[in-house]
Structure 1
Amino acid sequence: MRYSLMKKALIGRPLKTRELGEQKLSKLKALAILSSDALSSVAYGPEQVLIVLSTIGLVAFWYSIPIGVGVLVLLTALILSYRQIIHAYPRGGGAYIVSRSNLGENAGLIAGGSLLVDYILTVAVSVSAGTDALTSAFPELHQHNVIIACLLVVLITILNLRGVTESASVLAYPVYLFVVALLILSAVGLWKITTGQVPADLHPTIGTAVPGISLFLLLRAFSSGCSALTGVEAVSNAVPNFKEPAAKNAANTLVMMGVILAILFSGIMFLAYWFGIVPKAEETVVSQIASAVFGRNFMYYFIQGATALILVLAANTGFSAFPLLAVNLATDKYIPRMFLIRGDRLGYSNGIVTLGIMSIILIVAFSGQTEQLIPLYAVGVFIPFTLSQSGMIVKWVNEKPSGWAYKLSVNLVGALISLTVVIIFFTTKFTQVWPVLIFLPIIIWMFHRIKNHYEATGEQLRIKPGEEALQFKGNVVIVPVAGITKVVENSLNYAQLVGDTVIAVYVAFDRESEKQMEEKWKKWKPNIRLVTLQSQYRSLMRPLSRFIDLAAEKANGNDRTLTVLIPQFITKKRWQDILHNQSSLRLRVYLLYQKNVIVTTVPYRFKK
């Protein structure tokens, strides 16, 4: 009862299945809940470019402008490509469905596995980055980064368990607040630049010769900037969450997200270059820009607060997309079917809780250091990007619908650029992204093992025409007893109802206790056979398991079933359970995996 009340207080009253339609998202709410990851990456994407360029020096920072232009070109290609995916596959699933339908099973599993891991990284990176933004404004909290990040994940998990529309309603305000904050920052910064309030000597001139610069380093900086594009695919995965017409609303939301992302990314990248911002471990680039533009006043803290909020709540993109992707994989029998179950608030709560737990493990394992996770996070996105675009190319070539040549060219450009980024990642950041070569094959192997199990299970459970079921002539019931008690008496009475042969089994540790039990039994239950077993090594399980194995073999040879009926008393208080029933639990676990043995428990409930 207490658990039920606490659960209701945290996530709200259960919703009826017919209320599912009310959980669909409008475009404005969907933009908030699904674009928070992509928009929040503006807070660390430009910074990642500058971190790489800073290895050469401030003079190399002018390269951030052409690198930023390259990122915007890639963003445009991805938005156009995923817009086509949404219309082609309106049931959602994104890269997984596209790759599996057009490139084959393993390609789909690579895309699906990459995205599952990536959504876990989304939560870990976003919350860690949000915590960094918070501790940039309040340095005294820096030592508590991991604890703060874990508590924030728990908070977001609870928020998502309350339902899609409720979480969207809460998240809409911080997302739009962040957009307004960065638009104000960009506008005021540009106004100060155009009015000459910012010295022109803070940054190197575009085209300045840079000693020591190399193509390798520039490609590495570009791949780092591509981390700003993570989350672009989330809308295509979540099409079923949109109000009707779902595909049209999802496509429009995707375009809105792309436009806002392009404006914010361009603004921050340009201001960082013009103000000569140098990345610092203890302060983010956005924090430095806000400080340079406004000083440490109300506007600075407003921008830092909005940034911290969006970075933390960007994790919600993962919480929105991960459960839906898990549903597609579970439908195809690649992951446990528990991910298909809707919770009290009609969300896929098992997926939400799993994502929250895995994200916390990742944050603790990496001590909240986002820069260690971002390259792995980004490459995990661009592998599905490449596969989904390639899948669409195959689709257009095979189907040749109206206007297919244009559609093909859009996806071809997207595929080539995404593939190039993947190659750049593995070439320039191999030491940071090599784990993907380990965990992806393991995940795919697990997918296949799970599906093989489900198929084997279905084959064994399927009723086939003409196949006769086994017919049994009787039921032998074995009741393990520890003494003469009301619990045992209750169990024996039930055993006589369900079995035509009842055998009580007692394990004695010495001859004297064996003799005493036999004498008491003759007086108490002379009509029920008692078998006593001696255990020289004081083990209950070994003699019992041997006896049950022999009995099962004999019973099945005579076309009879064998049931082991385990007496168990139920305590009034839950905490008292740990003081009792350990032997019965071990016996039950052992017997559940034995062939040709039926296991049942007869409870006896205490009143005090």
Structure 2
Amino acid sequence: MFSVKNLIIGKPLENSSLAHEKLTKIKALAVYSSDALSSVAYATEEILWVLAPIGAFALSYALPVSGVIVLLLATLIMSYRKTIFAYPSGGGAYIVAKDNLGQHAGLIAGASLVIDYILTVSVSIASGVAAITSAFPSLLPHTVALCLFFVLFLMVVNLRGIKEAATVFTLPTYIFIFSLLTLIGVGVYKHFMGLPISPAPVNPVLGSTPQNYITLWILAKAFSSGCTALTGVEAISNGVPNFKEPRSRNAAITLVAMGIIIVFLFGGTTFLAQILHVTPNADETVISQIARVLTGRGWFYYLLQASTAAILILAANTSYNDFPLVFSLIAKDGYLPRQFSARGDKLVFSNGIVTLSILAALLLFIFGGDTHNLLPLYAIGVFLSFTLSQVGMVVHWRKIKEVGWKTNIMVNGFGATLSGIVLLILATEKFMNGAWIVIVLIPLLVLAFLKIHKHYVEIAKELSVDGQVCEHPEHIKVIVPVATFTRVVVNTIEYATSISSDVTAVHIVLDEEKSEKLKSRWGERYPHIPLVTLPSPYRAFLSPLLQYLEGVEKTIQPHELIMVLIPEFITHKWWQYFLHNQTGWVLKSVLFFNKNYVIASVPYHISERQKKIVPQ
């Protein structure tokens, strides 16, 4: 079993290896920027989906809308750059909101991030598969299967460790940046040099009635749709602890580099879509259309499509780095199961990685791997966490009032205002298209956090030894269920007599003939230990035994204890275990939740008969 596990995710790492798992700026850009960079592949398309139905005139507004989004991006980059230095321990919006706005605000930010990361995996993989099916339409019927395959792939790679995952994802990320910049360069060169370019064919999605005006609400919808380009901007501030030292400086440099690259890629893609009159198509992505028009379906086209698919799929990896980290921070504060705060064999938060994979796979299956069905749910959580983080930083600067605090307040205040406006637009415009699901889920998730925390607080009080005196039982009454007279039973009885002089064997009569043989042999071997036989006319094992135990329970004194010892044998091969009935396991499961019993198994190992057995 362990050899298979080691083959899949590698050998365990020692705690001292954690320092060597830190990321350089080059690798960190690939790991933490893939989500934000990948948004370029569909952000322009989402703007066009809003504008195209209005008519060809409306498409001219795509570039100005993109300009406003770039302004918001610059503001967020500056804001999160300050967050990185103020909170080098990472955690992003959750930590900032919790420290400055209170625990409930932190939980709202944490819930928003959790939902956003799950959607990031789903949307990124769905978009990546869409790029693949655009190049190879014959794969369209297998969309969901491809999506689930890539979820499994990302889960396994991330379970192998941070550094190993970064190594795998670095090359595809830089190939995407290079190929898309090259495409933009070719398009800009041909346009300004006056070289002939065949415009993209007119798509039926264009409005049939020409219009020469556009409403502010349509522009707001296009803006909110294009703001998907900003998803993932917070990822670097969340993952600061995974950078090599000096981690804050390296993270800040990586954040600025990411912002510059996004500006060129997003702005360039929108510019090309406008000059080439590209409109969205359900069967082919905008980037695919631009590349086909500018370069044809040659090797470069397939390189771009492959790298686009890769970056879209690998964009999910940003969530695989940040989701487990945020989950671990919430778990450490007692608002999620403690298991999420522990690192696994490869020094990653394995439980968080597996949980993220399962939830994302469910979303992809439910929504059929369709990007447009998933996108209305997207970005609400992002901008809610953006807003809370920026408001939290405003409070932070007001509290510490260090040099330049007034300027910092202006930057973060402006970021909070813009993020809040986008959040309101998104919530209003996409509410009926599915955003209501996220709006409902966030408070439900916060309530779940609070419920878990309340449980942990109550358990801590119950288990506290302060002022408590633990009473030692004066007498132990041992009960041993017996089915047949075997070495397994003898082994259990010998152990029972070593811990108590009050031992009773209980036998359920399912077969009269076998029961008589058991009583005969029992009298020869253990005449001093009573054997209670209980009739079972309906051949039930549990009911008569439980009734007997309830009767014994009524007779015990306050300082007496009932111990049920269950004889069990362990087979030589693991698969042989399933060839035998699981009566012992069933009995333990039933009695486990009764506070008046102590339940223990006394295993007898078939392959090691001479080995001394102790209870487990």
Which of 93, 97, 100 aligns to 1:99? It is: 97
Q: What's the counterpart of residue 461 of structure 2?
A: 459
Stretches of structure 2 that go unaligned for 5 or more consecutive residues are 203-209, 609-616
- Per-residue deviation at 1:369? 0.5
Look up the equivalent residue of 1:594 and give its one-letter code: N
Kindly provide the CA deviation profile for residues 59-96 of structure 1, in whole angstroms up to 9, marking residues without a partner as x: 21111111101110110111111111111111111000
Amino acid at match of 2:155: T
| Cα 1:562/1:199, change in 2 over 3 Å | same
Offset of residue 381 of structure 1 = 0.6
Give the Cα–Cα distance (whole angstroms) in 1 for the partners of residues 459 and 388 of structure 2: 31
- What does residue 438 of structure 1 align with? 440
Match of 2:294 in 1: 293
Aligned partner of 1:598 in structure 2 is 598
User: In the alignment, what sits opposite 1:267?
Assistant: 268
Alignment of 1:204-603 (within 5 A): 210-211=211-212, 213-431=214-432, 432-464=434-466, 466-509=467-510, 517-555=518-556, 557-603=557-603
Alpha-carbon spacing, 1:201–1:238, altered in 2? closer, same or farther (3 Å) = closer
TM-score (ref. length: structure 1): 0.95
Paired position in structure 2 for 1:166: 164
1:206-238 superposed Cα distances (whole Å, 9 cap, x missing partner): xxx935732222211111000111001111111
3-state SS of 1:311 partner? helix
**2:613 paired residue number:** none
One-letter amino acid of the counterpart of residue 390, structure 1: V
Letter aligned with residue 475 of structure 2: G
Amino acid at match of 1:457: I
Amino acid at match of 1:596: N
CA contact (8 A) 1:510 1:534 kept: no
Displacement of 1:572 after TM fit? Answer: 2.5
| Distance of 2:370 and 2:170 partners within structure 1 | 27
Q: CA deviation at 1:299?
A: 1.0
Deviation at 1:160, TM superposition (A): 0.9
Q: What does residue 186 of structure 1 align with?
A: 184
Alpha carbons of structure 1 residues 212 and 485: separation in structure 2 relative to 1, 3 Å: farther
Counterpart check, 1:114 vs 2:90: no
TM normalised by structure 2 equals 0.94
Contact 1:97 1:108 in 2 (8 A): yes
CA spacing shift, 1:73–1:578, aligned 2, 3 Å = same
Q: 2:14 is matched with which residue: 13, 16, 22?
A: 16
Distance 1:113 1:27 in 2: 29
SS of the aligned residue for 2:607 comes to coil
Quote the Cα distance in structure 1 between the aligned partners of 2:75 and 2:566: 65
> SS at the partner of 2:378?
helix
Q: Deviation at 1:203?
A: 11
Which deviates further from its counterpart, 500-509 or 298-307? 500-509
Q: Equivalents in 2 of 1:558, 1:290: separation in Å?
A: 82
User: Aligned partners of 2:514, 2:526: CA distance in 1, in Å?
Assistant: 18
- Return the alpha-carbon distance in structure 1 between the equivalents of residues 499 and 289 of structure 2: 77
Instruction: Check conservation: 2:91, 2:326, Cα contact below 8 A.
Output: yes
**Matched residues in 2 for 1:359 and 1:201: separation?**
38
Q: 2:3 aligns with which of 5, 13, 18?
A: 5
User: Is it true that 1:177 corresponds to 2:175 in the alignment?
Assistant: yes
Is the 1:186–1:271 contact (alpha carbons within 8 Å) kept by the matching residues of 2? yes
How much has 1:426 moved relative to structure 2? 1.6
The aligned length equals: 601
- Cα 1:201–1:159 change in 2 (3 A) is closer
Contact 2:148 2:364 in 1 (8 A): yes
Structure-2 separation of matches of 1:578 and 1:121 = 40
Task: Give the deviation of 1:265 after TM superposition.
Answer: 0.5
Aligned residue identity for 1:60 = A
Whether the 8 Å CA contact 2:66–2:226 is kept in 1: the answer is yes
Q: CA deviation at 1:199?
A: 5.9
Q: Would you say the 8 A contact 1:366–1:372 is kept in 2?
A: yes
Query: What letter is aligned with 1:528?
Result: I
Task: Give 1:350 shift.
Answer: 1.3
Q: Matched residues in 2 for 1:108 and 1:199: separation?
A: 52
Task: Check whether the contact 1:110–1:440 (CA below 8 A) recurs between aligned residues.
Answer: yes
> Does the CA-based 8 Å contact 1:510-1:535 persist in structure 2?
no
Structure 1 residue 358: deviation in Å? 1.6
Distance 1:106 1:599 in 2: 41
Once residues 201 and 502 of structure 1 are traced to their aligned partners in structure 2, the CA distance between those partners, rounded to angstroms, is 91
The alpha-carbon deviation at position 327 of structure 1 amounts to: 1.2
Query: What is the Cα deviation at residue 313 of structure 1?
Result: 0.8
- What's 1:128 paired with? 126
> Residues 350-371 of structure 1, C-alpha deviation per residue, up to 9 Å, x if partnerless?
1111111221111111110111
CA distance change for structure 1 residues 512 and 6 in 2, over 3 Å: closer, same or farther?
Answer: closer
> Which range is displaced more, 522-531 or 228-237?
522-531
Deviation, 1:177, is 0.8
Cα deviations by residue, 1:546-588 (Å, 9 ceiling, x for unpaired): 3223334433x24122211111122223233233242222211
Residue among 73, 76, 85 paired with 2:74? 76
Q: Output the CA distance in 2 between the equivalents of 1:261 and 1:280.
A: 23
Structure 1 position 108, deviation (Å): 0.8
SS in 2 for 1:564: strand
Give % identity. 46
Q: The residue matched to 1:55 in structure 2 has which SS?
A: helix
**What CA distance in whole angstroms lies between the structure 2 residues aligned with 1:442 and 1:549?**
41
Aligned to 2:154: 156
* Amino acid of the structure 1 residue aligned with 2:55: G
Q: Distance between the aligned counterparts of 2:489 and 2:509, measured in 1?
A: 16
Report the aligned-residue RMSD: 2.0
Equivalent positions of 1:192-203 (< 5 A) are: 192-198=190-196
- Matches of 1:553 and 1:116, distance apart in 2: 50
Letter in 2 for 1:599: I
Given that residues 34 and 317 in structure 1 are in contact (C-alpha distance below 8 angstroms), is that contact kept between their aligned partners in structure 2?
Answer: yes
CA–CA separation in structure 2 for the residues paired with 1:450 and 1:547? 37
Go from structure 1 to structure 2 and tell me whether the alpha carbon gap of 1:357 and 1:200 turns closer, same or farther (over 3 Å shift): closer
Question: Secondary structure, in 3 states, of the residue corresponding to 1:561?
Answer: strand
CA distance in 2, matches of 1:41, 1:456: 44
Question: Structure 1 CA distance, aligned partners of 2:199 and 2:262?
Answer: 29
Equivalence for 1:52: 50
The amino acid across from 1:161 in the alignment is L
What is the distance in 2 between the residues matched to 1:393 and 1:80? 13
Taking a change above 3 Å as real, the CA distance of residues 520 and 293 of structure 1, as seen in their structure-2 partners, is: same
Q: Secondary structure at the match of 1:435?
A: helix
Task: Specify whether residues 70 and 210 from structure 1 end up closer, same or farther in structure 2 by C-alpha distance, changes over 3 A only.
Answer: farther
Amino acid at match of 2:603: P
Q: Distance between the aligned counterparts of 1:203 and 1:490, measured in 2?
A: 83
Q: CA deviation at 1:46?
A: 0.6
8 Å CA contact retained: 1:510, 1:536: no
Q: 20-29 or 213-222: which moved more?
A: 213-222
Q: Secondary structure at the match of 1:168?
A: helix
Q: Is the 8 A contact 1:30 1:168 kept in 2?
A: yes
Residue 40 (structure 2) pairs with residue 42 (structure 1) = yes
Residue-by-residue CA offset, 1:319-365 (whole Å, 9 max, x unaligned): 11111111101110111111122222111111111111221111111
